[in-house]
Amino acid sequence: MASKSTNKLHFLLIPYPAPGHTIPMMNMAKLLAQQPDVTVTVVTTPLNAVRYGHALNKPGLPAGFLQLPFPATEVGLPEGCESLDALPNPDLALNFAAAVDMLQFKLERCFETLSPPPICIVSDKYLPWTADTADKYRLPRVIFDGMSCFKQLCDHNLYASKVFDGLPESETFVVPGLPDRIELTRSQLPAEFNISSRATRERLERVKEAELRSFGIVINSFEELEQEYVDEYKKLKGGKVWCIGPLSLCTDNDNAQRGKIVSISEQRCMEWLDLRQHGSVVYACLGSVSRVNPMQLIELGLGLEASDHPFIWVIRAKEVEQWVLESGFEERVKDRGLLIRGWAPQVSILSHPSIGGFLTHCGWNSILEGVCVGVPMITWPQFAEQFLNEKLVVQVLGTGVGVGAQFVVHWGKEETFGVKVKSEDVKKAIAKVMDSGIDGIERRKIAQELGKIANRAIEEGGSSHMNLKLLIGQVRDMNFNRTATQGFKFYQI
């Protein structure tokens, strides 16, 4: 737990136990703890504390963990399944969510022991029970859902307008009320717009209800990246939106491990990359939890092979590991392909000057990590909000080329989707991104410029740095008012 000093502003951070949610929140914890007069406690489970502990384990950093035992076996999960990426199969997703809900009781049982008393809860948006905990202890609750303002605004306008209702799956419609003309189809919408199970619908309603009771929202983005969307979203939220990212830039030298033991040493990757020309390598990774049909992944591998560019390919499927050996793929590409089986030191790889393109599933953390290092992207969205992220990168920012994915691959239904993107499509998208003609040069120029702006945003005086100060100041003021009025409750204005 955090330090005992009573003058400190104590922030309680509660991440959702999944890498794409926890990694940015660990970075946020560190960032907050580096600010004057701030101390931080991250509420997590024992295995996650081990997994992410290195991020906070810095001499003198006033940050620590409150570890709550995770009731995995009580809800029918295997022992040690404390993170969404450890789930043996997607049918257990609701069991996992039930175990996460049970953390509320465990947290409240030891809340009074937290010292100094917390003044603010920063909670993952998908932990709606933290709104009740915040009410109970009369604390402001700031939410974090790890996505851009572009995504928040799309979500809001889609919910409000229901413009997609009754349309055939593949008919395009325009998302209303956005600064740009963004076209989508129903089959590209996040699963929350297409819910079939009652339990999931109820869960999402709880999330929405809890969001309305929050004090504001922290966004892992920087204003210059999506200024018009930030402005519009702030109007919707009465100004209580703080863009404090990119959080991946706040990790100093922690880039190698980032939550999991890497399957290859960072040094080996760097040595391999050192031997390649600047800007020549394609890095391909589809995130931490996406489940892709192995036949589809094989097309990805064949596309990389056909591209003639050196590449690093992160493989997370046993069937594909077998295929690369048995088909002779690994042997054929041995002079220009590095295969990583399992977890890659992604941020370190992306930061190497030899990387010239990033083939990504468009998870928001990956997108931002690509933006920060100034590389153009080959976009292959899979599920959740990833098609929206693709629109931002390809259409609004102009730094990406899509492989042509058309449908959300719903979690657990990947087998039924078959092969939709062919190796030829992958090859073509790579060729466009790595192109040395006018379009390719222009795309790279925009990407590099955005990378520089991203790095400036987090520096002293940069937009994200100022927003972080603003957030801390507003929370401090609320705490002062609360102490003065006793019993003040915090609802969204």
Structure tokens of 38?
């701030």
Q: Nearest 5°: phi and psi at 148?
A: -80, 170
Residue with smaller CB distance to ligand UDP, 2 or 49: 49
Q: What's the rounded Cα separation, in Å, for the pair 272 and 343?
A: 17
Structure tokens of 52?
């992410």
Q: How far is the CB of 372 from ligand UDP (least distance, A)?
A: 11
Answer yes or no: are the C-beta atoms of 11 and 38 closer than 8 Å: yes
Residue with smaller CB distance to ligand UDP, 294 or 363: 363
Binding mask 248-267 for ligand UDP (x = CB under 6 A): ----------x---------
Does residue 474 touch ligand UDP according to CB under 6 A? no
Residue with smaller CB distance to ligand UDP, 134 or 189: 189
Q: In the set 104, 188, 214, 346, which binds ligand UDP (CB under 6 A)?
A: 346
Does residue 347 touch ligand UDP according to CB under 6 A? yes
Answer yes or no: are the C-beta atoms of 402 and 376 closer than 8 Å: no
Does residue 83 touch ligand UDP according to CB under 6 A? no
Residue with smaller CB distance to ligand UDP, 141 or 258: 258
Residue with smaller CB distance to ligand UDP, 107 or 207: 207
Beta strands per DSSP E along 68-137: 120-124
Which residue bears the tokens 């990168």? 393
> Helices 318-326 & 294-307, crossing angle to 10 degrees?
50
Instruction: Count residues binding ligand UDP (CB under 6 A).
Output: 19
Answer yes or no: are the C-beta atoms of 311 and 386 closer than 8 Å: no
Write out the DSSP string of 309-327: S-EEEEE--HHHHHHHHHT
Q: In the set 290, 307, 379, 474, which binds ligand UDP (CB under 6 A)?
A: 290
Binding residues for ligand UDP restricted to 348-407, rule: CB under 6 A? 363-366, 369
Q: In the set 15, 17, 20, 370, which binds ligand UDP (CB under 6 A)?
A: 20
Smallest CA-to-CA distance from 217 within 136, 133, 131 is with 131
Q: In the set 15, 17, 19, 246, which binds ligand UDP (CB under 6 A)?
A: 19
**Per-residue CA distances from 265 to 98, 344, 440, 481 (Å):** 36, 9, 32, 51
Q: In the set 9, 12, 14, 23, which binds ligand UDP (CB under 6 A)?
A: 23
Binding residues for ligand UDP restricted to 291-320, rule: CB under 6 A? 314
Q: In the set 65, 164, 343, 387, which binds ligand UDP (CB under 6 A)?
A: 343
Residue with smaller CB distance to ligand UDP, 134 or 264: 264
Instruction: Report the relative pairing of strands 63-67 and 172-174 from DSSP bridges.
Output: unpaired
Residue 414 CB contacts under 8 Å (≥ 6 apart), including other chains: 291, 292, 293, 296
Q: Which residues bind ligand UDP (CB under 6 A)?
A: 19-20, 23, 258, 285, 287-290, 314, 343-344, 346-347, 363-366, 369
